[in-house]
A and B are shown apart, each in its own frame.
Chain A
Amino acid sequence: MKTVPRWLSLAAVSLALFAALPAFAQTSFEGLDSSTQSKGKKKKKQRKTSASSKKRAKRGRAQPDNATVAASNKETAAPASAPASDVKQAVSAPAVEAPKAEAPKKPEPIPKPAATLTFDAVDLTGKSAERQRLDVAVQQFKQQQYELAALTAYELMRDPKLLALQLDAHYVLAKSLYRMGMYHSSLGEFSKILAKGPQTKFFKNGLEWLFFISHKTTNEAVILEEIAKYSNFEFPAQFRGEFRYLLARYHFVRGKALDAIDQRGEANKSFDQVKALILTVPKSDPFYARAKYLEGLAYFREDNAQTALESMKEVVRITRPNSSKSDVEAKLDKELRQLAFMQLARTHYGHRQNRNAIYYYGKVERGGTQWLESLFESAWANYRVAQYEQSLGNLITLAAPFFRDEYFPEALILKAVIYYENCRYREARSTLEDFERIYLPVHDQLETMTKRERDSSEYYQILSDIQKKIRTSAAKGNTDAILDKILRLALSDKDFKKTNDSILELESEVDSIGKRGDTFRYSDLAKTLLEGLKTERQALVKRGGIMAKGKLETELAELKRLLTNGLRIKFETTTKEKEFLEDQLRAGGRQEIVKKYRYSVAVSDEQLYWPYEGEYWRDELGTYQYTLTKGCAERQVASGSGG
């Protein structure tokens, strides 16, 4: 056996130590945002960390050390309130960055003594006074004094002497705002940090924080534009699926907007992007189902029904209830599953495959967000296959007092048409009268709202006023039915609803500043934040206004069409009644316009028969079948299918 020379073993030990150090540093600096600017400093700090990591808890705030910086960064990378997945992501993320922390080889310049006496006296860390001031902010953040941390960081940012640490301070500010629940303000600050470019040290972490924020805000779309700005950069692996999905959503929304202004070519490009991006989302990714849903919609737009159906079926397969999913995941899956069923039904309905459509409408969860829509659309599908009784049954549910304020004007038209088809002219006319009584005022109100040329944000303002008015009058137990209907109508546009939610969220963030302590409330930071929020609100209001305007105008046109159709049916009904009366006169009064149908209330073994007598029982909703006891004289039964 050969003996190893002493010098060689020493060298080996040194090498091993050298190799081990970065690994240690990596652990200590978990979560620390690696910097390209201060790499030289970091090397030294990492070594210190090993010695001081246990002591740091005992030290006062006046003596922050580097270990504190590291610890706080570790903590912030995994926000306490962020979802569990975020925590995982954050903890593992720094592993990628850690090598940067140990990259510098140059000896670190000896730090200058602190400028103040106080710091001179206690500075055992060898840090600059500037760094110590930053450490104060970090320490405050670590001690969950987020307001103070934000104020300190903001002060540092504005200090021209601290240019080198401005970004660090900015990062602390953005994180503090997040922890204070001021997600929009935090997003604003992170946007500014990201805007400094990918070469800056907080770029990658900033991107991660975008996702954290999107998980907290009511509308994840608020970060879409930010995401789109950095679409060419590599996102952290944990967020890649989410990133691609969000980017696809961004293109989807863009494509829809382009479609709305008839720019088909550009819209096609956007939708192609959607499809391409979705192909890159792996099947195992939690965002796969949502991505597939978008893909289905993109194919549906192209009228590629077969592929659209396949995508939607895939969504249904993936979102099958599964006990291994968390509550949040299960809830999201459930909602998506309902949407997929609706889309499957609509695609079939669009291709006149009515029974398939009815099958999928029937799959929509009872009482869920899509349920009433599904009942209404299913009523049309049933009408098409002459299942009038089922169709009218669905409309009974829609007429229940619980859903009185839901906006389904066409339901009454459908009801009138079915009565008309079954020679029940009196009922048809009475239904049309109901329709006019309810919806003519809505039409008039909509026309008043839309006929004047207004700035788009004014539209939002009108709806916002209605919203406030309804809220106040609801508290008094007295709501304006027409205004309520108009608001619900506008909110039935999902994009508008989300934008509205964002605006409300933003307003509550503005209000939250007023509720904070005087130090924060009257600070320059608060003023700046308020200004930022105001600007963001204006942008959102403008966007919401455009959506509201579009929605209200579309609905006005639709209501006009329905009113015209109503008049047509009325005219047809009157003509039929006249013809019948003439026939009756000719027959000497012996001719019957309607006759009693044969009907049975028998139900299958799995069902129970309860007559509907004007009372709505919750567990009966959605199960009604109307019994047409009389109808056209030439028919024997109500429905073509025999009921």
Chain B
Amino acid sequence: MRLGQVAFALALFASPVFAQSSEQEAGDVSEVDKDRLGPLRERIPPVSGQAFLKKGRFEFSPSATLSMRDAFFTKYIIGGALTYHPLETLGVSLRLGYSFPVVSGNAQICTVDPVTLARTCRSPTFSQVDGRAPGQINLLGGLDLQWAPIYGKISLFAEKFLRFDLYGIGGAAAVRYAGPSPDGGSTPKTAIGGNVGLGTRFFFNPWMTLRLEVRDLIYNEQVLPIGTSSLRQQLLFELGFSFFFPTRFSES
């Protein structure tokens, strides 16, 4: 895998510095190091004529999101994001998702038989946890900033070659969830939180990409007993396709 930007390269090639200097003394520098040390580095960007450029384009990205490591509710979120990329490495995105929370397989209600003392567990029904267990998200919205400093390509068994970028996101999120109701059951509540995450796009053609993202949604949720709240971290895995508009671009 080759990366277009400095950060990874520095990390990857940090160790052989000593070896390089003696190689250099011998007038023998490997091809990879030549790029790192040579004069081309001073005047030429890592990539040009890029197969995919984002600057000045909109990205519409329908996606399916699955929550991870849920104790009570697994969320299946259908949604989308609209991103504008004012710069090649920077984007601003607005996201919206509708969630279908279902009782997680991890959630168990266990009872102990007073006679035999045998312990039996079963999955609770939705109504048993509705409003009582945290993480019952119904609606998600957010405004994120995207920073994509890394553009690279990857060789799959030296047969297939894929271009990708790596990005980080961070921003504000609004969460609509079912919180505990004093009357029992649930009542809709809204919380403001934040998003941080990492994502990657694999470029198929000049206008379409596959997008993978892992995000940590952090928000403060009201829980039982009434009047108390707890900070929740919800890991979300998102998979989607992105469509870029305009569909063509030119390298400036």
Contacts and interface: CB of A to CB of B under 8 A. Distances in A.
A, B in one complex: yes
Interface of A: 320-323, 365-368, 400-402, 608-611, 613-619, 621, 623
20 contacts: A321-B24, A321-B27, A366-B34, A367-B41, A368-B38, A401-B49, A402-B45, A610-B155, A610-B161, A613-B161, A614-B51, A615-B48, A615-B50, A615-B51, A616-B47, A616-B48, A616-B49, A618-B46, A619-B31, A619-B35
B48 A402 contact: yes
B31 A618 contact: no
A400 B39 contact: no
B183 interface: no
A367 B32 contact: no
Contact of B49 (A321, A611, A615): A615
B2 interface: yes
Nearest to B160: A611
Contacts of A365: 38-39
B40 interface: yes
A402 B34 contact: no
A401 B2 CA distance: 20
B153 A618 contact: no
B44 interface: yes
Contacts of A402: 43-45, 48
Nearest to B25: A323
A322 B20 CA distance: 14
Interface string B130-158: 00000000000000000000000101001
Nearest to A614: B49
Contacts of A621: 40, 44
A618 B49 contact: no
A330 to B, nearest CB: 10
Contacts of A367: 34, 38-41, 44
A614 B52 CA distance: 11
A623 B38 CA distance: 15
Contact of B32 (A613, A617, A619): A619
Given A610-B155, A615-B48, 18 more contacts: A321-B25, A321-B27, A365-B38, A366-B38, A367-B44, A368-B38, A400-B49, A402-B43, A402-B44, A611-B161, A614-B49, A614-B51, A615-B50, A616-B47, A617-B47, A618-B40, A618-B46, A619-B34
Contacts of A320: 27
B251 interface: yes
A616 B51 CA distance: 9
Contact of A400 (B43, B48, B51): B48
B41 A618 contact: yes
Interface residues of B, number: 29
Contacts of B50: 615
Contacts of A608: 155, 158
Contacts of B24: 321
Contacts of B31: 619, 623
B113 to A, nearest CB: 65
A610 B4 CA distance: 14
Contacts of B39: 365, 367-368
A367 B251 CA distance: 23
Q: Which 4 A-B pairs have the closest CB atoms?
A: A367-B40, A619-B35, A367-B39, A321-B27
Among the interface residues B2, B32, B48, B155, which one has the most CB atoms of the partner chain A within 10 A? Answer: B48
Nearest to A611: B161
B161 to A, nearest CB: 6
A629 to B, nearest CB: 17
Interface string B5-49: 000000000000000000011110001101100111101111111
Contacts of A610: 153, 155, 161
Contacts of B51: 613-615
Contacts of A322: 25
Nearest to A322: B25
Nearest to B251: A401
A617 B155 CA distance: 15
A613 B40 CA distance: 21
A614 B51 CA distance: 7
A633 to B, nearest CB: 29
A615 B39 CA distance: 20
B40 to A, nearest CB: 3
A618 B48 CA distance: 8
A44 to B, nearest CB: 56
Nearest to A621: B40
Contacts of B161: 610-611, 613
Contacts of B47: 615-618
Contacts of B153: 610, 615, 617
A469 B25 CA distance: 44
B126 to A, nearest CB: 51
B158 A617 contact: no
Nearest to A609: B158
Nearest to A367: B40
Contacts of A368: 38-39
